[in-house]
A and B are shown apart, each in its own frame.
Chain A
Amino acid sequence: MSVSANDNNSAKVSVRGFLAKYSVLIAFAAIVIFFAIASPTFLTPANLFNVLVNNVVMLAIVALGLTIVISSGGIDLSVGVSVDMASMIFVMLLAAGYSGVVGVAGGLGAALIVGILNAILITRLNISPFLATLGVLFIGQSTQQLATSGGQPIYLTSGYAADQFNAIARTALFGIPTPVIMLIVLALAVHLLLHRSVFGRYVQAMGAQPGVAWYSGIRVPRELSMVHVLCALLAGVTGILLSATVKSYVPLSGNAFLLDAIGATFIGTTLSRERKPSVIGTLLGVLLLAIVKNGLLLVGWNFYWQQVGIGVLVFLVLAASFGLRRAAH
């Protein structure tokens, strides 16, 4: 085997490695270009603003929480319940005439209870995260139906503090919508927590090899509880944002976030060689999903075909990343 052939070979390998590593970014660029050509409205500021505020921010905040949980080696299927519970309590309190501060505190408190319930089931009763949060999902859904006589929405009429929230959701700071600023702050915080803090390192260790974490003197139950509480709280933030935006509580609407958030987090793992979730990867995953949904809508696909489009996209990104990486190895 000659030297030049060898070089050629390794160059080919590194191109494949590059494609594998950045398959999300490449898919992202390709999709933006495609929709920019296919739809004249796609790249307009009004549309991008709409995508960010309505499709990205709320999903991304839920996905940030799931990123923490998935990093720890677990899963939270009850994020939708956390969204709904926060939304329900927030709207109920506001409808009863309480101030916005009380509403937010109550909403986050409701999400906190969901998180603590998950934590107890997982760390005290040693139920696997999948089954524990699945159980909480069932209980949470029924609770909402019982509390709303079978799933009746609660609407906020004008005059409540909700108006202020609704207004906040429409303001902007230096041209950046307020909800987007909220997301940036939360994402930065979760990024620092997950990738720079002692807690984050423990989370990574538990995700990589729980036995080693325990044998290294890490308080695994405590850290794991914190993981699930944080995830539920972040989902609660989305619940409050959702209610503030639509000025109502619609039972069981939180579940829509679950699968998209899981999908976004796993698309994000393709950025890392060890397939570890990361905040940057998750945000990219969310953007990718949001843009595809919006783009397909603009070119006239109906809702059901959008789901098909997203499914195919997830397959393609993951398959490209896995396949090319194996070839590069």
Chain B
Amino acid sequence: MQTAKRDIAVSMTGISKRFGPVRALENANLEIARGSILGLVGQNGAGKSTIIKVLAGIIKPDSGSIVINGEAVTSLTPASVEKLGVHFIHQDRLLVPTATVGEAVFLGHEIGLGPFVSRRVMERRAADLLKRFFGMELPAGTLVKDLTTAQQKVVQITRALAQKASVLVLDEPTAALVKREVDSLFDVLRRLRDDGIAVVFISHYMQEIEKLCDRVTVMRNGTDVGTVDPRQTPIDEIIAMMIARDVGEMFPKRSVELGAPVLEVSNLRLGGSFENIGFNIRAGEIVGLTGLLGSGAKEIVQCLFGLKTADGGEVKVEGRELSLSTPVKAVRDGIAMLPEDRRAHGVALGLSVRENISLASLRRYSRSGMVSRGAENQAVDGLIKELSIKTPHRDALVRELSGGNQQKVAIAKWLSCQSRVYVLDEPTVAVDVGAKVEIYNLLNRLAGEGAAILLLSSDLLELVGVCDRVLVVYRGRLAGSFSGPAMNSDALLAASSGARSNIDGVAA
């Protein structure tokens, strides 16, 4: 069959892989055609990254066969796969920050005489390639760390092209890009497709899949459940394939009686970032906070958790005034924080699920300084069950969980602490659709239990769908407070770009 279709670059059939008791791949198939862009979607844990790692030679499959360019390959290694023309742009495998563009493009394939590399030749050749493929001109000797994230992606792609790539696999390439950069990356990918290169594009963003891909393969529970044309299949249908149930309401409805104010912020200011910020959040209320990059919205959240010290103003939790100078005090005063950078601040990957969940509340499970394992295990098991965290057991390392489940561990840490105020900083970035819905449900439940929730997000649909009220920050000041029918993404966008303001109802 593989030989019949000459335009198939890579064909993986019947791939299975187990990690201990966890079934990562079960009889999964993936077919990549030349001159076409294939989308690969699925929830975290569906097996997307595992099948890609199998193709990259990083993971050895238990069974199955792989044919690359008509040639059956038995044992793949990262080096042999590159020789076959299959290249990977990994999500978080970054370039060496202190290397020059030339060094980065020819990393592992340095040009030179014997052991000596000729940096000048590499710079010139890299500049030629960048100009020829992407029309991009960079000053000679530019360092990787001085490039934007989008330019770094382009350098990574150029490295692949310099090695005569015939298959290019991109894992979440747009996660850190702004819209304009995404558009130019898409142009690059389309041009490569027209040159006959096979492109695989992994993304959580359905709009991108719809816009870019010729075909999309959907994975669920370690196997491929179908390949469709995204231009002719409604997004809802693709999402339904991913989660095997009707999406119905992405944003679950709820009705909560609002209680007394839990968080009261007044006249908060931080020099150079924001001033005169005041708002209340009542028990059971979910308040959104948004603003463009540099608007000061992020710094407001950081001040509330003591990561930055405000220059002035007042913050009260349940009527008690707080001195927010460090996270230590914020945690003691009942404020929980879900940071944006999950791997650096949210969960410790090298610690177990148990150690992560109990970290902020150890005192509750200890007597005279010694941890009581029984009490800790009981609480941790309860939370694993409650949040349906997918983990082999409580002592598994958080590193082994999928992104959505890692985020649930980060949330469980604060549930275990019984915090009163939850501050969430972009909680659903790089989290798949299914886990997103679960996180929204969780927020609703916390609100239902009387917590006050502040959700900082740049996803306007998410804010409109989840929040009771959304505050918009523009140039360091509150530019609007929207609720009810006035709360829609157009209004939020207009307010965050300064085009319109709506200061009614902004609490003093």
Task: State the A residues within 8 Å of B (CB).
Answer: 1, 6, 192, 196-199, 201-202, 204-205, 208-209, 211-219, 274
Contact = CB atoms under 8 A, between A and B. Distances in A.
B396 to A, nearest CB: 11
Nearest to B307: A215
Interface stretch (B177-185, B267-275, B363-371): B363-371
Interface string B335-362: 0010101001111111100011011101
A213 B362 CA distance: 12
A204 B348 CA distance: 10
A209 B343 CA distance: 9
B360 A217 contact: yes
A208 B371 contact: no
B40 to A, nearest CB: 25
Contacts of A217: 327-328, 330-332, 360
Contact of B348 (A1, A197, A209): A209
A196 B328 contact: no
Residue with the highest number of chain B CB atoms closer than 10 Å, among A1, A192, A216, A274: A216
A208 B305 CA distance: 22
B328 A219 contact: yes
B159 interface: no
The 5 closest A-B pairs by CB, nearest first: A217-B331, A209-B348, A208-B348, A208-B350, A216-B360
Contacts of A215: 305, 327, 337, 339, 345-346
Contact of B351 (A192, A198, A204, A218): A204
A208 B62 contact: no
B413 A211 contact: no
Contacts of B356: 212
Contacts of B360: 216-218
Interface string B316-340: 0000000000011011100001010
Contact of A198 (B63, B346, B371, B397): B371
A198 B363 contact: yes
12 contacts: A1-B62, A192-B370, A197-B366, A205-B355, A212-B348, A214-B345, A215-B337, A215-B345, A215-B346, A216-B327, A216-B359, A217-B331
B62 A205 contact: no
Given A1-B63, A217-B327, A219-B328, A212 B355 contact: no
A204 B330 CA distance: 22
Interface residues of B, number: 32
B370 A212 contact: no
B377 to A, nearest CB: 14
Nearest to B342: A212
A201 B355 contact: yes
Given A212-B348, A216-B331, A201 B369 contact: no
A125 B347 CA distance: 27
A6 B62 contact: yes
Given A205-B359, A212-B346, 19 more contacts: A6-B62, A192-B370, A197-B366, A198-B362, A198-B366, A198-B370, A199-B369, A201-B355, A202-B362, A204-B355, A208-B351, A209-B350, A211-B341, A211-B344, A211-B345, A215-B327, A216-B360, A217-B332, A274-B350
A201 B354 CA distance: 11
A41 B485 CA distance: 90
A274 B349 CA distance: 11
Nearest to B336: A217
A143 B9 CA distance: 70
Contacts of B349: 208-209
Contacts of B355: 201, 204-205
Residue with the highest number of chain B CB atoms closer than 10 Å, among A192, A199, A201, A204: A201
A165 B128 CA distance: 77
Nearest to A200: B371
Nearest to B359: A216
Contact of B359 (A6, A199, A212): A212
B354 to A, nearest CB: 10
A303 to B, nearest CB: 39
